């Protein structure tokens, strides 16, 4: 285990990592680890367990990736269904449930974007609580680009080659511009990560800290939303303008 410890914020109920405080098997008092101290049976992780606590990491965004990996592998070994093949049905089910939760937690925290989205959900209750004004300019830009894309897709190779080539060059240039913008957004997101991490985890001057936190969360939410729009149009541009692109739009996503 790494030396990281999750610091619960005072004034809030400490989230218990385990589904219950008593061992499901021998009924003895649990001390908060994943196995009963007395009968050594595996214990079910609580469905309410947050992913940071699950992986023994502080609620920070620039996380220690090595610690994340190490904890993940250690816990995976503890919970892996292969080790429970000869155990009773109850333990098998717990092993499966814990492994599923652990995998989701790991996948979510490993990816910076998913990590930020998860933190926003966790801290703001629901990401929907933070509503940013819609980026009208970006929408107009996207719609215009989509018009060009539609026209480009409608021109089959062979006919109107000149217009097709002209559009292709324009769309490829647009794609480069947008990819650069997406990268800039990701830089700005990382800046917000550092701002978040610099905020005190302890509840010093609770109200001020909360409003600072909300401001960072809202800032991140805005970047993440705009990034999603840009990412989609970039994907469409890539799909349509790559040499191997199938004609027509990739439908279900």
Partner 1 sequence: MAYSEKVIDHYNNPRNMGSFKKEEDGVGTGIVGAPECGDVMKLQIKVENDTIVDAKFKTFGCGSAIASSSLATEWLKGKTVDQAGQIKNTEIVQELNLPPVKIHCSVLAEDAIKAALNDYKKKADTEGETAEAATPA
Q: Which residues bind partner 1 (CB under 8 A)?
A: 127, 132, 134-136, 139-140, 142-143, 146, 221, 224-225, 228-229, 231-233, 236, 251-253
Q: Measured from the CB of residue 123, what is the shortest distance to partner 1 in angstroms?
A: 17
Q: Which residues of 45-73 are buried (b: 16+ CB within 10 A; e: fewer)?
A: bbeebbbbbbbbbebbbebeeebbeebbe
Nearer to partner 1, 7 or 235 (CB): 235
Token duo for residue 63: 């996380």
- Classify 35 as helix, strand or coil: strand
Question: Cβ of 15: how many Cβ atoms within 10 Å?
Answer: 14
Q: Measured from the CB of residue 132, what is the shortest distance to partner 1 in angstroms?
A: 7
Question: Cβ of 191: how many Cβ atoms within 10 Å?
Answer: 12
Residue with tokens 């101290």: 37
Nearer to partner 1, 91 or 236 (CB): 236
Q: Measured from the CB of residue 182, what is the shortest distance to partner 1 in angstroms?
A: 12
Nearer to partner 1, 99 or 192 (CB): 192
Nearer to partner 1, 70 or 117 (CB): 117
Return d(Cα 247, Cα 245) in angstroms, integer.
6
Q: Measured from the CB of residue 22, what is the shortest distance to partner 1 in angstroms?
A: 34
Q: Measured from the CB of residue 225, what is the shortest distance to partner 1 in angstroms?
A: 3
Continuous H helices in the chain: 51-54, 65-79, 89-110, 112-124, 136-154, 161-198, 206-241
Nearer to partner 1, 165 or 177 (CB): 177
């Amino acid at each position: 285990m790494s030396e990281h410890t999750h610091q619960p914020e005072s004034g809030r109920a400490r989230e218990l990592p385990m589904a219950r405080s008593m061992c499901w098997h021998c009924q003895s008092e649990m001390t908060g680890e994943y196995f009963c101290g007395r009968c050594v049976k595996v214990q079910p992780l609580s469905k309410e367990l947050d992913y940071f606590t699950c992986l023994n990491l502080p609620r920070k965004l620039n996380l220690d990736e090595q610690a994340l990996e190490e904890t993940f592998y250690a816990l995976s070994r503890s919970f892996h269904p292969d080790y429970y093949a000869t155990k009773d049905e109850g333990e098998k089910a717990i092993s499966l449930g814990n492994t599923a939760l652990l995998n989701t937690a790991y996948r979510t925290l490993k990816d910076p974007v998913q990590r930020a989205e998860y933190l926003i959900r966790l801290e703001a209750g629901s990401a929907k609580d933070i509503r940013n004004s819609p980026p009208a300019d970006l929408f107009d830009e996207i719609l215009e680009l989509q018009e060009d894309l539609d026209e480009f897709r409608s021109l089959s190779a062979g006919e109107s080659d000149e217009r097709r080539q002209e559009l292709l060059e324009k769309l490829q240039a647009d794609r480069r511009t947008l990819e650069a913008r997406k990268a800039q957004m990701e830089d700005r997101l990382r800046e917000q990560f550092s701002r978040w991490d610099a905020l005190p985890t302890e509840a010093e001057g609770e109200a001020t800290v909360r409003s600072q936190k909300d401001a960072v969360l809202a800032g991140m939410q805005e970047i993440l939303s705009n990034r999603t729009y840009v990412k989609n149009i970039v994907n469409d541009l890539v799909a349509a303008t790559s040499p191997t692109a199938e004609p027509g739009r990739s439908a279900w996503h």
